[in-house]
Structure 1
């Protein structure tokens, strides 16, 4: 049995699953201390099902805490930035183009040092070990423990970054070091940005992940703890503490994976409607389509793996801006009203008209239209049919435009409607073949976390003149398989889900960037497997 939890800004959703079947599920308010809300959610599903904590094989948690911290500019560490690319890599200093308030939050200390490689792997400049030691001592004396090291073309050759990290640790034993080669792709600035953001989240990641572990331990669940990543695969608690940026897109990813699992469809558009936004993504063979462009996180361009997701300002708590004098209008100009993008979020239960408040929201419109039955209709305004139809038409247009923006080909496509606010999605939309609401759609995000697999993605630049194409792909795939097994994957379920080849025409020798992604089901803990065998 596996537990999946998704910690959102408003609700914490949890499911208990046994061999693909949902045994229990719940939605609990997200607590300020994280730990309490997660513990309450897990305790609730165990109580519903009567299942002993000892029977749980794994707990997987998805969280928005890290991306929220960056967006809200809170709980970020001071960062020491070591760039190994001088003298040629000094044209654009680190953090160029970053929002000023974010730069001030991390209070960075930057060092531009000799080093790096050319695009073909040749050394560009020798590493200056004395300068590195001096920088490490300065950072140690200044109390900066989060350090990001970036070397030119380190995804092709990471040796210099690893040597630099070893030197820094000699002089600064308390340092927590992020290497850009372990996070981002070849693009230098975006990769450096990713490493800096990861370093800034060091303390928060440690606190949040350990609070999840305490929440599980408090109710007697001793199963392994995993954190879901951007690509729908799992990271161990230790990996998540080291690489929090790899989990920042896990919310939409979990919803899409859960939608695919619950519906049985591998190729579709997923619309996940929460309290504040509707996240629209595309499924390809059961996995989220990966973004082909640099992801913007908190105003910073990055290049680590992220799902291709479009977020629109329409959710269950989205405010409807309409003058009360127009509630009974028989004609309504489009300029006379606005839907969103602001939302009541977690305040919906206090300020929404359905719950006795004074703010008109999209949930109120759904109740007036007879789509939902929750809340009380006593406090709702009387809207004319003209006004209600105009507001619903605007929401429909927002959703249809979102689907069109995510489609890659002409023709109607199926849409999977999930999330607590999926009632806002009409049963018929332009450009959509059918709208499917799978069972347990409200907690598809937690289902996605529960079914997540161990995975790994490895990319290498290889010359097809030096190595046969099939042998090269197999070499990269084998590296990915080894990582999956290290992450707890079952050898019997190893599967290659994606192979991507990108010719690098500016390099000699028919150079190609080969990227291979492999997944596998988790191996059950020995005690669980033994009890099943018995």
Structure 2
């Protein structure tokens, strides 16, 4: 019996969907306008590819979703959980308040129940002071019935997780299994405030992720599909439904990474710069051994500085729907605003009243789309300057992503990639693969499942080889929990950084394991 899989990726302008067979060949594909409620666009796209493919629904066994639900909730400050944030770090961290430096509106939404408890560890694993369990019980009683999600952060928990683990037990004991608990040691790396912010944001979007997951499962059931559901995460791999609801923050920026994985698959390239042109933005990322390069910098999410893993992506305000404004003196501006998914109504070539980047390309004969006569009256000389500026924006962004001055392979994907020329400055070659318009959905569908661990080990207690093996085993267990097949796991990345500023010959080890989907035919929950 053939086994099929669905891949869906939600972008700012389009929701792309593909149906693949067991050989990962595309059977059907579509681009559907992203809807304001997101869910309707997902359902429309999914229904279209299923009807077009006309395959037995019972043979569709996997469904993968890359979604912007959590990102949108944080940016819009909507649909967030009622959370409590507990920092274990008194008296050492009294001088710095929780959510410091976070925008006022986000602090107002998330900062109603903030607590500081005695405990935490030094950088070498020694206790600062013993954990104040009595205070934790008091806090649990105080927030009972008032919150549905709790973020727990302890000083240097990447070195020792014991206080976070015990705090979690106490909160769970009093509040029950219904309340979600996020632990900073499972989300961020060393750096208290950034890790705390990441943990709080994770706790705040648990319900959003659950609603998205339930909606996707419900949509599949309505189509008579019993499939295992996976969510795309921002390292270019997948995670199971339960894992996504526990760590929803890892879905942030999964769209660009899906495109990178799709670009790698479509071109069989393991190392290249990928330019993903959508309707609103162009995202540029780097493939390293077929996976997205990870950012080494702290990243702001909704104005909050965080340090959980994120892809190294540069985004520029240029897409198919980018608004071009012409001035009387011959000058012009390109974006950064866009008509987004209203392109088929607003763009001049479709009878609208707004000059977009797509109109410019059509007027210059770069693209065959819509009605070219509706842009024939435009000043060709000025349009050429606009187009050259558009291309230059992309070339500058590509240069920013390079690690050397040498030319690099560039892969163009995304529906808006038709706007760009066949050659770019700084590119040794430009590859535009077949089905590049739905590379993101393909990337979601073909991705493996991964698990990652980042820990600090004291080499006075164990030797380096033992530390590496422990990290590898833990990463593999995380991958299995996320839905990977235990029999087909490989280690795809190891980073071992000696920490000269810590005593005891300490080292920070980060390991990622990845594997194929576990081939368990179980019904949806």
Question: Same fold, TM exceeding 0.5?
Answer: yes
1:165 to partner: Cα distance = 1.4
Alignment of 1:399-478 (within 5 A): 399-478=394-473
**Could you tell me the TM-score, scaled by structure 2's length?**
0.95
The residue aligned with 2:496 is 501
Q: Is the aligned partner of 1:280 residue 2:284?
A: yes
The residue aligned with 1:235 is 239
Q: Is the aligned partner of 1:153 residue 2:153?
A: no
Distance 1:126 1:59 in 2: 46
Alignment of 1:484-499 (within 5 A): 484-499=479-494
The residue aligned with 1:226 is 230
Q: SS state of the match for residue 27, structure 1? A: strand
CA contact (8 A) 1:46 1:52 kept: no
The farther-off stretch of 31-40 and 402-411 is 31-40
CA contact (8 A) 2:202 2:247 kept: yes
Q: Deviations over 1:193-215 (max 9, x none)?
A: 00111111122222111101101
Q: Deviations over 1:374-399 (max 9, x none)?
A: 21223225233321211111111101
The residue aligned with 2:199 is 195
RMSD of aligned residue pairs (Cα, Å):
1.6
1:261 to partner: Cα distance = 0.5
Distance 2:339 2:143 in 1: 42
- 2:319 aligned to which of 294, 315, 321: 315
Report the CA distance shift for 1:465/1:176 in structure 2 as closer, same or farther (over 3 A).
closer
Q: Deviations over 1:412-461 (max 9, x none)?
A: 00111000100122211111111111111000000010011111111222
The residue aligned with 1:55 is 59
The residue aligned with 1:16 is 19
CA contact (8 A) 1:190 1:294 kept: yes
1:527 to partner: Cα distance = 7.6
Q: Is the aligned partner of 1:303 residue 2:298?
A: no
Uncovered stretches (5+) of structure 2, i.e. residues with no partner: none
Q: Is the aligned partner of 1:339 residue 2:342?
A: no
Q: Deviations over 1:251-301 (max 9, x none)?
A: 011000000110111111101011110000011010000000011111111
How many residues are matched?
A: 518
Distance 1:135 1:511 in 2: 35
Alignment of 1:119-134 (within 5 A): 119-134=123-138
Q: Is the aligned partner of 1:179 residue 2:179?
A: no
Distance 1:514 1:338 in 2: 46
Distance 2:120 2:53 in 1: 56
Distance 1:346 1:498 in 2: 37
Runs of 4+ in 1 over 4 A off after TM superposition: none
Distance 2:466 2:154 in 1: 28
The residue aligned with 1:329 is none
- 2:268 aligned to which of 264, 269, 276: 264
The residue aligned with 2:114 is 110
Distance 1:433 1:486 in 2: 41
The residue aligned with 1:208 is 212
Uncovered stretches (5+) of structure 1, i.e. residues with no partner: 327-331, 529-534
1:39 to partner: Cα distance = 2.5
Distance 1:27 1:393 in 2: 28
Distance 1:311 1:97 in 2: 24
**Could you tell me the TM-score, scaled by structure 1's length?**
0.94
Alignment of 1:357-396 (within 5 A): 357-380=352-375, 382-396=377-391
The residue aligned with 1:139 is 143
Distance 1:381 1:144 in 2: 59
Q: Deviations over 1:354-373 (max 9, x none)?
A: 11111101000011111222
CA contact (8 A) 2:61 2:521 kept: no
